[in-house]
Amino acid sequence: QVQLSESGGGTAQAGGSLRLSCKASGHAYGGSSFCMGWFRQAPGNQREGVAVMGSDGKAIYAESVKGRFTISQDKARNVLYLEINRTRPDDSAMYYCAADWRLCEPGWRRPGRFDDWGQGTQVTVST
């Protein structure tokens, strides 16, 4: 079992930036096939995939965040990052880190395919 722990959430003004971190412990995601990524869920909405990165180093983004969000990973430290730029009020949500032992495609948008989840970190963007 892998433990995922997010940090870095908080409050930002519209047009600002935030960087989220996800630390994986218990088992390193490295070498074999894996997919790690970020989902978000606002009250009353379904959990949606935001961005993922696999063992092949390929980053995949939801259309709604392309150009503003950047996902990256530090394999040596088992940390996954999500940089949110030009924040908007509709970015406000609980952001979750997720991971599993398969390549990201196909199906990365489906929360149910991910085995491991963090507890989430809240992002609030004010106008």
Is 69's pLDDT higher than 70? Answer: yes
Give whole-number Cα distances, 12 to 67, 68, 100, 126, in Å.
Answer: 18, 15, 30, 6
Whether the ω angle into residue 111 lies within 30 degrees of 0, i.e. cis, is no
Is 76's pLDDT higher than 80? Answer: yes
Give whole-number Cα distances, 14 to 6, 74, 85, 126, 127, in Å.
Answer: 22, 28, 9, 6, 5
- Of the pLDDT bands very low, low, confident and very high (cuts 50, 70, 90), residue 41 is very high
pLDDT at 101: 87
Q: What is the mean pLDDT of the chain?
A: 93
Q: Which residues pair with 73 in a beta bridge?
A: 80
The count of other CB atoms within 10 Å of the CB of residue 28 is: 14
pLDDT at 20: 98
Contact (CB, 8 A) for 125 and 13: yes
pLDDT tens, residue by residue, 25-38 = 876 555 578 899 99
Q: Strand order of the sheet with strand 3-7? A: 3-7, 18-25, 79-84, 69-74
d(CA 37, CA 19): 14
pLDDT at 32: 75
- Nearest Cα to Cα of residue 99 among 46, 41, 52: 52
